[in-house]
Amino acid sequence: MRNLIVKLSVLVVFVFAVLAGCGGGANAMVGTWKMVVDDSVTSKAGDGAKPEMTMEFKADGTWEGKMKIAGTEETAGGTYTLKEKHLVMKQTTENGKPKAGKDEEVDLEADMKSFALPGTEGKGKLIKQ
């Protein structure tokens, strides 16, 4: 009987360890992401104005972004879903006002720590900090 209890205990611990290892509940998006742009983009901005952008992805499925370029700061926000490596973002606010935006879809890199910015043709990406 004691042997059976030990085996069941080991089985329960094993099942919980496997479930935890599968990322059940872990969201790779949660955190702050910073934009890195190609030098060709910054050279087109003129007078050395380098765009700066950060995005914060939250566990509740929302995101907030800030972009600063040439002394002007803009904000945006919305919702997102992540299924495996496929990220779908929808913008719902811009500079604190409601905005209806289309869905932007991208795939995260294999390491789940970066993705190309939509529409930049490989000239910019967001990297998890």
- Give tens-digit pLDDT for 8-19: 333 333 333 333
CA 4 – CA 6 distance, rounded (Å)? 5
The rounded Cα 97 to chain-centroid distance in angstroms is: 22
What residues does 68 pair with on adjacent strands? 52, 73
Residues of the chain short of pLDDT 50, as ranges, are: 1-24
Tell me the CATH number for domain 26-128: 2.40.128.360
Q: What does each C-alpha distance from 106 to 39, 101, 129 come to in angstroms?
A: 22, 15, 19
Domain ranges (residues) in the chain: 26-128
pLDDT at position 2: 39
93: closest CA among 76, 79, 81, 80? 76
pLDDT at position 46: 61
Residue 25 gets which letter from DSSP?
Answer: T
pLDDT at position 18: 31
